[in-house]
A and B are shown apart, each in its own frame.
Chain A
C-alpha cells in the first residue's frame, strides 16, 4: 500500500509537470474568483456598514474561514468531485478491479501540483484574523486550524455524498450545481440575515454554517442570533466535520454495493 502510494505520487508529479501551463491557469482562476467575491463583499459593505451587527472586517474573517476550509478540501479531496464524471465515462470500473481501496484510488488521481488556492486562502486568513480584531495566540491558531480541517471534512462529506448518489443516478450535475451555489452564496454573510428555514438547513442539514459562521461567532465573542444557540457551538466544527464525512463514507460503502456503472 505504501509502495503503491509512493508510485502514484511519482506518476502524479510527472503528469503535473507535463501540464505546468494548466497549473498556472488554475492559480489565476482561483485568484480572480476570490478577488471578485471579496470585491463584491466590500462593495456591499460600503453600502451597509454593518449587517446584523457584523462589520466588513468581521465578514472578511467569515469569508476567510470558509475559503480556507473549502480550499483545503479542494487540495486534498477534489478528485471526489470528479467521481460522477468517472462513473459516467466508465473509468470508475477500473478502480473496482484493483486490489486497493476504491476511495484511496479516487483520491490519488493527479490533481493540481501546487495547492495554490489553499495558499491564497491562507494569505487571506492571515490578513483577516488581525484585521477582524482577533488577538493572535497559539491557542487561536490551533483552534482555527481545527476549524479549517473540520470545514474541509464538511465539504468532503458533501462531495462524497453527491459522488455516491451518482452510483444510482448517473447525472448529478444539477444537484452538484445546486449544492455548490448554496454553499457559495450562503457562506458569505452571517446566516442570521436569512429566513429561518434557510438557517436551519445551513446549520443542521448541509452544515455549511459550521465552516465559518458558528466558529466566527465564537471567536469574535458575538451573540449568536441566527438560531439563538450558545456561541459555544462554534467549537463543534471539527466534530461535525468528522461525523459528516464518516456518515458519507458509510453511505459510499453502501453505494458501492449498488453501483450500476453506466448500466451496461
Chain B
C-alpha cells in the first residue's frame, strides 16, 4: 500500500479554468475593434476539479470532446494559468515555476510532434539532451534503451517527415522521456495508430510505468488504452469531475447489464425470455440483455434451452467503452443512485 503512505505527486484542489475572450467584432477593422471591446464571452472549461495522484500511478483521464481534458493537462504542465484553485506538481506550482516544472515532466501531444520535421530523428534527441542538460552517459543509456524497446534502430537517421505516424509517435515518446521525467503526460498518444503500433506504444507505457515508476497521466479517446493500462480512471464531463476510482469498480457498478447471445439450430421467430430483453435478432441469433443483479445467467440459459432449439450460448460482459458512453449519456450520479447496492 505504497500509494496510501506517500504524499501525492500531483494534487489539485478546486482547479478551475474559465476562458474569457473578447466578443469578436465583424468587418475589416474587426480585429482592431476587438482589442478595445468590453464585451467578453466566458466559457468554463474546467470546473472545480480536485484530484490527487500518487507517485508511480498510471491514471486514465477520460472525457468526451470538449470536456476539459486538454485544458486540465495544460494547467498541470504549466502552459495555462488556472483561473482559481490550487495546483501542485512534484512540489511546484507549474505556471509559477515553468522552467523547474518542465524538468520534472515529459509531455507527448499525440497530435503535435516536438521533433524537427526536416532532420533525422536522432538530431532532435541531441537537441533535447542539450536543452535538459542530460549527462552524456545517462543520455546514452536512455537512448539505447528506448531504441531497443521501441525498435527505432532502422529509422533513427531518417528525416522525421519521412516517418510513418507510428514511427514518429515512437520518436516522440523517446523525446519526452530522455530527461527521466518524474511525471509524463500523454495526450491522445495512440490517436490514428494502427492496432500493431498501438500495442507497441501501450507495452512501452506499461513498461516505463513499471520499471521507472514514472507517474503517468493518460488522456485518450481509445478506452482500450485505459483497459489495457490503467487501474484508476478519472472521468470528466463538461468540465466537472464525475468519477474518480478503480476501473474495476466502475465496471461492476455500471456493468449490471450483460448480454446473453443465443444461437439457434434453426430460425426462431421472435424469441423471448422472462427477465431478459431482446435487443437484436436475425432469425438464428438473438441478443438478450439482462440485469445481472436480478437474473441469473444459468437460469436464463436453462429457460432458453427449454423453449428453443439452442445450439450455442455465450455471455458478453459490458466493456468500458459502452459503460462510459452510458455515463456520458445519462450522467453518473443518477445512475449511481439507481444502482442497487
Q: Answer yes or no: are A and B bound together in one complex.
A: yes
* Residues of A bordering B, CB below 8 Å: 3-4, 6-8, 11, 14-15, 18-19, 90-91, 93-94, 96-102, 165, 168-175, 178, 257-261, 263-264
A18 to B118, CA, bound (A): 7
Check if B148 is an interface residue, CB within 8 A of chain A: no
Kindly state whether residue B114 has any CB partner on chain A within 8 Å: yes
Q: Report chain B residues within 8 Å CB of A90.
A: 109, 112
Question: Is B71 close to A, CB under 8 A?
Answer: yes
Q: Is the CB of B21 within 8 A of A99?
A: no
Contact between B116 and A99, CB atoms less than 8 A apart: no
Most chain A CB within a 10 A radius of its CB, from B34, B78, B114: B34
CA–CA, A171 and B19, complex, Å: 16
Contact A96 B78 (CB under 8 A): yes
Chain B residues with Cβ under 8 A from A100's Cβ? 99, 131
Chain A residues, Cβ within 8 Å of B132: 99
Chain B interface size, under 10 / 10 to 19 / 20 to 34 / 35 or more? 35 or more
Instruction: Tell me if B249 counts as interface (CB < 8 A to partner A).
Output: no
Residues of B within 8 A of A14 (CB): 118-119, 123
The interface residues of chain B, by DSSP majority, are classed as mixed
- Which residue numbers of B lie inside 8 Å of A, CB to CB? 19-22, 28-32, 34-35, 43, 45, 66, 70-71, 74, 77-81, 95, 98-100, 102-103, 105, 107, 109, 112, 114, 116, 118-119, 123-124, 126-127, 129-133
Please state if B22 and A168 are interface contacts (CB–CB under 8 Å): yes
Given A258-B81, A260-B19: A96 and B98 interface contact (C-beta under 8 Å): yes
- CA–CA, A93 to B100, complex, Å? 16
Are A259 and B119 in contact (CB-based, < 8 A)? no
Decide: A97 near B31, CB < 8 A? Known: A91-B112, A260-B19. Answer: no
Q: Which residues of B contact A11 (CB under 8 A)?
A: 116, 119, 123-124, 127
Q: Give Cα A174–Cα B29 distance, bound, in whole angstroms.
A: 7
Interchain CB contact under 8 A, B112 and A261: no
Say yes or no: A259-B79 contact (C-beta < 8 A), given A6-B130, A7-B126, A7-B127: yes
Closest A-chain residue to B111, C-beta based?
A90
CA–CA, A4 and B133, complex, Å: 8
> B70: which A residues are within 8 A, CB to CB?
264
A4 pairs with B102, CB closer than 8 A = no
Contact A99 B102 (CB under 8 A): yes
- B127 with A259: CB separation less than 8 A: no
| Set of chain B residues within 8 Å of A98, measured between Cβ atoms | 102, 131
Contact across chains for A259 and B118 when beta carbons are under 8 A apart: no
Q: Which of A4, A7, A94, A264 has the most chain B CB atoms closer than 10 A to its own CB?
A: A264
Which chain A residue lies CB-closest to B131? A4
- 15 A/B residue pairs, CB under 8 Å, sorted by A: A4-B127, A7-B131, A98-B102, A102-B98, A169-B34, A169-B35, A172-B31, A174-B30, A175-B31, A259-B79, A259-B81, A260-B19, A260-B20, A263-B21, A264-B70
